[in-house]
Structure 1
Amino acid sequence: MSDTLLVTGASGHLGQRVIAHLLDTNKVPANKIIATTRSPESLSALAAKGVTVRKADFDNAASLSTAFAGAQRLLLISTDTLGRPGHRLAQHKNALEAAINAGVKHVVYTSMPMPKNSPLLIAPDHLGTEHALAASSLTWTILRNCWYMENLFMSLPQALADGKLYTAAGDGKIAYISRDDLGRAAAAALACHNGNKGIYTLTGSEAFSTENIARLASAAVNKPLDVIQVSVEDLIRGMVAGAGIPEAIAVEIASFDTNTKVHRVAAVTGDFRALTGIAPQKLSEWLAANNATLARA
């Protein structure tokens, strides 16, 4: 009998793509999938297809073992907590303890590239989760996901409207990969039937500096876009004063640029192809497919 597979954070953008690939790409029967979320009502369409939908709150450790019951393989999608150092790690540890209590055998975890000694402020949560997995009785697969192409929606539309893209990343590059590709890879890792331990760093096929991205985005929407290099301190001030972002969140966001500047997300690997058998989507293709959204401001 095939394993029952569980996806946490199933109502999130990545979780939705994982479920779609489990059903459509990997041909996993709906009745062999459990989808957990804080908002089960949001997954009524999946429930109608035969997917088991359960409520799971990572801040309520006692409830998680029940939510995970009956699953043999579990995808732990990193939670989205910001501005609370260590809270994400506590949530993940709750989930791992519950997985063991529920009889889960294998956990797939979405981590980040090069979490050790990273200046990125969320890195300790990822590294701590990797260490917790390694110390557990579980077998595991760690997916060190590079940054989503979709993250560019947070900066490019306004930058294209203003004609200026501010960055503190210097000449650092990012090997962007689409969220759908990461969902495909996670589904493949979850649906396989081995208990081998492994780490995959999932990247696009090329790394891009902010200057590279600006040129590609400008061409995709036919608007000029200049890159303005600033200090991390000025970047934080701009987010707080210009966008009204709370300072603690702005500091955390700015640490992504610091991490990029020291080349922590520039490496390109073949791990996505190794998991899926196909090449990742190119950034130029993604920009062309989303040019209307990028030009909306």
Structure 2
Amino acid sequence: MSHQYPIAVTGVAGQLGRQVIKYLLDNLQVPAQHIVALTRDTTKLVEVAAQGVEVRHADFDNTTTLADAFKGVQRLLLISTDTLGLPGKRLEQHKNAIAAAEQAGVKHVIYTSMPKPEGSAITFAGDHLGTEQALAASNMSWTILRNNWYFENLFMETEHILASGQWFSAAGDGRSAHIARADLALAAAHALASGDTTNKTYTLSGAKAYRTQDMAELLSKVSGKPIAVVPITDEQKQADLTQAGLPPALAEIFASFDINTRQGGVAEVTDHFKQLTGKEPTPFEQWLDAHKNLFAVA
């Protein structure tokens, strides 16, 4: 396996970025001195720096200094920024990062996108599609990782679901081939460390696609509490999320997840995770069992 160093990861203060660094060091045995960790707040990466990884400040809103953050980097993992509730902001930041990477001489960019962003019902799908298009128009080679939803996204609703014993869903019989965040981090680490400069798009899914009813039955089993799936309209879903404590702007975004699921936007099951890592993705049932203490009902 050939490598081009140094390699860099953005957003390392976040959970996905931090996990990627861990896999690069521990699983793939990439020397720490060949890794650059990028973040807006370097004080959050003291432990990462202590491992020998170079930590640099990178602010996607500051175009005057961003190219310096990427200086010397050969391969860059661009983790999608978290700007929910700010339409278009994410795409602007990503375009800034891509332009700065070109200016700095980065050769290859790996980007964390989403499944089927073209025509998706997800309110921020255009940010992902626009970023993919910006990469395709750049002078750099690229790898697109179309990451399915995290298993961990369940935590946004499970407290409300377990408290009421009801799962209000507008997803119909749509299925989600979701996947563990740790698996997506492992796939990203492999893509970054591979040295591959071929333009490729991977859709990273779990091994199986589940209906809301399937997930409710499995959650009921690990929590010890009956859960009834209650079909509702898109408008009712948004209202339910608002009642659960989400700000209206975020409730609209998360309600669009159900619409997208109903329309088949996250149902595709692929073997792309295995292609990248040589391993099978973590089964949803296994993940639930490993986190059952978080779902247990007294």
Q: Give the shorter-chain TM-score range.
A: over 0.9
Q: Are 1:202 and 2:168 an aligned pair?
A: no
Partner of residue 228, structure 1: 230
Residues 244 and 153 (structure 1 numbering): CA distance in 2 closer, same or farther, change over 3 Å?
closer
Please, what TM-score do these two structures have when normalized by structure 2?
Answer: 0.97
Provide, for residues 70-127 of structure 1, a one-character-per-residue CA deviation record: whole Å limited to 9, x for no partner.
Answer: 2100000001101121111000000000101111100000000001011111110000
Three-state SS of the structure 1 residue aligned to 2:195 is: coil
- Give the equivalent residue in structure 1 for 2:17: 15
| Percent identical | 51
Note if 1:118 corresponds to 2:144.
no
CA contact (8 A) 2:78 2:110 kept: yes
Instruction: Measure the CA separation in 2 of the matches of 1:47 and 1:292.
Output: 32
Deviation of 1:24 (Å): 0.8
Deviations 1:193-232 (A, max 9, x none): 1211100000000000110000001111211111111111
**Distance in 2, Cα, partners of 1:93 & 1:149:** 28
Structure 2 match to 1:101: 103
In the superposition, relative to structure 1, how do residues 63 and 294 fare at CA in structure 2: closer, same or farther (>3 Å)? farther
Report the counterpart of residue 249 of structure 1 in structure 2.
Answer: 250
Q: 2: distance between equivalents of 1:238 and 1:179? A: 26
Partner-residue secondary structure (3-state), 1:115: coil
Q: Counterparts of 1:180-219 in structure 2 under 5 Å?
A: 180-219=182-221
Deviation at 1:245, TM superposition (A): 2.5
Greater shift in the superposed pair: 106-115 or 37-46: 37-46
In structure 2, give the amino acid aligned to 1:212. Answer: D
For the 8 Å contact 2:224–2:297, the answer to whether it is kept is no
CA displacement at 1:47 relative to structure 2:
0.3
The alignment partner of 1:125 has SS state of helix
- What residue ranges of structure 1 are gaps of 5+ in the alignment? none
Structure 2 SS opposite 1:155: helix
CA deviation vs aligned residue, 1:214-263 (integer Å, no higher than 9, x gap)? 000111121111111111101112222x1342222211111111100001
Q: CA deviation at 1:296?
A: 6.4
Superposition TM-score, scaled by structure 1 size: 0.97
1:58 aligns with 2:65: no
Partners of 2:4 and 2:171 in 1: CA distance:
46
1:9-64 CA-to-partner distances (Å, cap 9, x unmatched) read 01101101111111011110001000011111111011011001111111112221
Letter in structure 2 aligned against 1:220: V
- Separation of aligned partners in 2, 1:115 and 1:50: 37
| 2:94 alignment counterpart | 92
Indicate if the aligned counterparts of 1:188 and 1:275 stay in contact, CA closer than 8 A: yes
TM-fit CA distance, 1:2: 4.2
Structure 1 distance, partners of 2:160, 2:121, is 27
Question: Residue type matched to 1:179 in 2?
Answer: R
CA distance in 2: counterparts of 1:15 and 1:78, whole angstroms: 10
What residue is the counterpart of 2:290 in the other structure?
289
Q: Which amino acid aligns with 1:269?
A: T
Where does structure 1 differ by over 3 angstroms across 4 or more consecutive aligned residues?
none
Q: Which AA in structure 1 matches 2:125?
A: A
Native 8 Å contact 1:88 1:125 kept in 2: yes
State the match for 2:84 in structure 1: 82
Instruction: Tell me the CA shift for residue 66 of structure 1.
Output: 1.1
Indicate the SS of the match to 1:144. Answer: strand
**SS of alignment partner, residue 128 of structure 1:** helix
Give the distance between the partners of 2:69 and 2:183, measured in 1 at CA.
Answer: 27
1:253 counterpart letter in structure 2: F
Q: Write the letter of the residue equivalent to 1:275.
A: L
Quote the Cα distance in structure 2 between the aligned partners of 1:278 and 1:238.
38
Is the CA contact (8 Å cut-off) linking 1:153 and 1:294 kept in structure 2?
no
Paired with 2:62 and 2:230, the residues of 1 have a C-alpha distance of 44
The Cα shift of 1:155 comes to: 1.1
Which residue is 2:279 aligned to?
278
- Residue 73 of structure 2 aligns to a residue in which SS? coil
Correspondent of 1:132 among 105, 124, 134? 134
Counterpart-to-counterpart distance in 1, 2:102 and 2:171? 40
8 Å contact kept, 1:157–1:293: no
